[in-house]
Amino acid sequence: MADTTCNSRDNESIDKLANFAKSILKSFILLTIVICVFFIKGKYLPREAGEQPTIINLILFTLLGTVLLTILGVTDMYIFNNLVLGLGIGLGVRFFE
C-alpha cells in the first residue's frame, strides 16, 4: 500500500514539473515570435510616411509572418486562435474607417 502512495506522489511531482516546463517553453516561443514579428516589420515595412514598401518586401513579410504564425499554431492553438480573431477584428475595423 505504501508503494502506490509513494509512486502517485512521484507521478504528481513529475506531472507538475512537466507542466511547468511546457509553460516555460510556450512562453519562450511566444516571446520569440513577437520579437521576430517586430524585427521583420521594421526590416521589410518602411517607417517613413511617404515611403511605400516594394512588392518583394511585402512578399517576404507575408511569408515570414506566415511561418511565424504557423509555429505559434503548432505550439499553442488557443493563443493562435485568439490572435487570428484579433487580427480579423483589427482588419475589419480598419476597413470601416
Q: What is the pLDDT of residues 54-89, one digit of tens each?
A: 899 889 999 999 999 999 899 888 988 998 999 899
Residue 52: strand, helix, or coil? coil
Question: Is residue 10 over pLDDT 70?
Answer: no
Using CA atoms, how far apart are residues 33 and 25, in angstroms rounded to an integer? 12
Q: Residue 68: phi, psi to the nearest 5?
A: -65, -40
Are the C-beta atoms of residues 80 and 69 closer than 8 Å to each other?
A: yes
Give the model's pLDDT for residue 4. Answer: 57
Using CA atoms, how far apart are residues 70 and 29, in angstroms rounded to an integer? 12
pLDDT bin (cut points 50, 70, 90) of residue 39 is very high
pTM of the model as a whole: 0.72
